[in-house]
Amino acid sequence: MILHIIKRELFDHINSLRFVLTTVILLILMSTNAFVHLRTHPEKVRKYSNNVTKSLDDLKSRTELYTLIRKGPGNLYKSPASLSFIADGDDAYLPRNIYSPGSWSRSGFGSRVRSNWWLSYGSVNPDAKDLRPHATKIDWVFITIYLLSLIPLLFTFDSFSGERERGTLRLCLANPISRPILLVGKFLGTLIAVLIPFVFAVLLNLAVISADSWTQLSAMDWGRLGVILLIAVSYAGIFIGLGLMISAGTREPRLSLIVVLLIWVTVVVFVPSTLGTLSTKWMPPLQTNDQFQTAKKLAIDENNTDYNEQIKATKEKKLSGAQSKLQQLAKMPRENVSPEDIKAAQEEYNSVWQKDGNEELQIKSEFVKKDVEIRERFNRSHLDAQIAQIRRARAVTRFSPAAIVQYALESMAGTGFNRHLQFLDNVHLYKKQFRQFIVDTDRTDNESLHLIGIPEGMSKKAVTIEAVPKFEDKITFKDTFNAATLDLLLLVLLLVVFFSGAFLVFLRTEV
């Protein structure tokens, strides 16, 4: 029986004008998406590999341990996602790399210190010089969140109220069909009717994309594509449930139409952006850029003064011996002092002044290490606060299924905010490996003083470049899946909620 109902629903839909229009628009959008991707993606991949080669070359030119720690590993780049045609993820608004920061050097009391590499996070604002009008990229996310919600609603808004108006619903229920069966039949029939043009368009899109040699999709990509399709299907299902629910709850199709469309406009078009910015209004305000910079500068300056005092005290303590000898010589009568003595005393003084002893080296090494630590701590905590704010804002926008699907698709496609967080994780991990490598290599050299961060204190042996850890921005299927878990769960939950909502409403309506 249920098969019969599904079949009838399906035929009804397929023979309708809306089915034709849906197919046309989905095919146009999906094929544009594929062609635009083919036009722009190779350039991105080329740029990325050029950049990576360049920073590898930089790394290779640093053959000494000290230059490695002073100049760092070079720029670190985020690898472009092969599935970026699915979700652009506003990648233009996320930094694509970690730049090497500037450097400083200080001298005083006869010793010179230079900065070590520290991790700093840039920010990008592509809009600042872009005179073109703002627009959203047409990717699968766009097609899914706007069309796979509007189309199901337009397919279902009159499925009960329209039949009730025409009287066919009463006729249908007069047969020995239970209401749940009818509902399930309508649900599945509509779902299949919506999915036929969608799958058709998706196949066209993938056919175009995989025909090109530049964008080879790996087995993992196909696995992710499967999950992505499931997400799209359940999203369409949610809106079919919503449409059926409203259709069952209202008396006439005109009313259900307007209710359905207004809900759609609010939830899909406005909630994801409005609620996101609105929610930040009620969150504790972030440090402003100026406040952050001042606080950081204060901490750095404090460290500098500490260092100055320490190095001054040590030097003065050491110098005092030579100084008093000089003073003694000056007090003695002229004829008792040989010029050699004066010269020797002066040389001793100069050598203490110019050459750093072990103690000073230790102070310098500590200072440089602490400087890096302070800078990284401040940068990191600022970044963490920013990320926390965005996380909370995104949590609020998850009120809208459109936002959930956007986030889930972005995570699965390997773009967007979650991907950026994974990139940062990779960078942090790499930073640790890189520093550990330097410390470990230094430890193997017995001649070294093991004072990291200053040229005098570190091993002078040439480093084999192959041994230096290289940055690889890799993500595994598990990572992407983990990032999307919450969104996937929420989607399934919403699907259940809306379907059972439609069920309850339909059970209680009079025909």
Partner 1 sequence: MLRTIIRQELLAHLMSARFFAAVIITLLLVVANAVVLLEDYERRLDRYSHQENVHREKAQEAKTYSFLKLYVERSPNPLGLFSAGLDKRLGGTLEIYHGSVPMISNASARSLDNPFLNLFSKIDLVFIFQVVLSLIALLFAYDAIAGDREAGTLRLVVSHPVRRGSILLAKYISAMICLLLPVLMSLLMVLFLLSISGSIQLSGQDFVRIGGIVLTTSVYLSVFYLIGLLISTTTRRTATSLMLCMFVWVVLVLVYPNWSRFTINPVGDTQAERTSTEEHVNQIWEEVDREEQRFVTNSPLEEDPPWFNLSYHEQGRSYGGGRQMLTSKVKEKSEHLVPHVQKYHEAMETLRIRLAEQTALIRKQSLDKTTLREARWHEHLMKLSPAGLYTFAASAWAGTDLDGMFDYVDAAQQYRRSLIDYLHEKNAFGSRQWFDTSKGEVDWWDLPQFRFERANVWENATRAFPELFLLLLINTVLFTVAFLLFVKIEV
Which residues would be at the binding site for partner 1 (CB under 8 A)? 16-18, 21, 25, 29, 32, 35-36, 90, 93-94, 123-125, 127-138, 142, 146-147, 150, 154, 158, 254-255, 257-259, 261-262, 265-266, 269-270, 272-274, 276-278, 280-281, 286-289, 386-387, 389-390, 393, 397, 417
Q: Is the dihedral of CA 129, 130, 131, 135 positive or negative?
A: negative
DSSP 30-42: HHHHHHHHHHHHH
Nearest approach, Cβ of residue 176 and partner 1 (Å) = 30
Smaller CB separation from partner 1, 99 or 222: 99
Which residue, 17 or 467, is less far from partner 1 as judged by CB?
A: 17
Q: Closest CB to partner 1 among 18 and 450?
A: 18
199 Cβ neighbours under 8 A, 6+ residues apart: 229
Count of CB atoms within 10 A of residue 174's CB? 9
- CA 397 to chain centroid, in Å, comes to 17
56 vs 138, beta carbon nearer partner 1 = 138
CA distances for 102 relative to 112, 117, 375, 382, 502, angstroms? 17, 8, 12, 19, 60
| Six token digits for residue 135 | 């627009």
We find the least distance from the C-beta atom of residue 53 to partner 1, in angstroms, to be 21
What's the min distance (Å) between Cβ of 87 and partner 1? 13
φ, ψ of residue 293 in degrees (nearest 5): -65, -40
- Give the residue with the Cβ less far from partner 1, 132 or 331: 132
**Shortest separation between residue 192's beta carbon and partner 1, angstroms:** 19
Nearer to partner 1, 323 or 381 (CB): 381
CB of 139 to partner 1, least distance (A): 9
The CB-of-325 to partner 1 minimum distance in angstroms stands at: 36
Q: Give the residue with the Cβ less far from partner 1, 10 or 438.
A: 10
Handedness of CA 364, 369, 375, 378 (dihedral sign): negative
Q: Are strands 97-98 and 105-108 parallel, antiparallel or unpaired?
A: unpaired
CA distances to 111, 300, 325, 374 from 370, rounded to whole Å, are 18, 9, 36, 6
Task: Say which residues have a Cβ less than 8 Å from residue 341's Cβ, sequence separation at least 6.
Answer: 329
Token pair in block for residue 162: 């329209």
Shortest distance in whole angstroms from residue 140 CB to partner 1: 14
Amino acid residing at 392: R
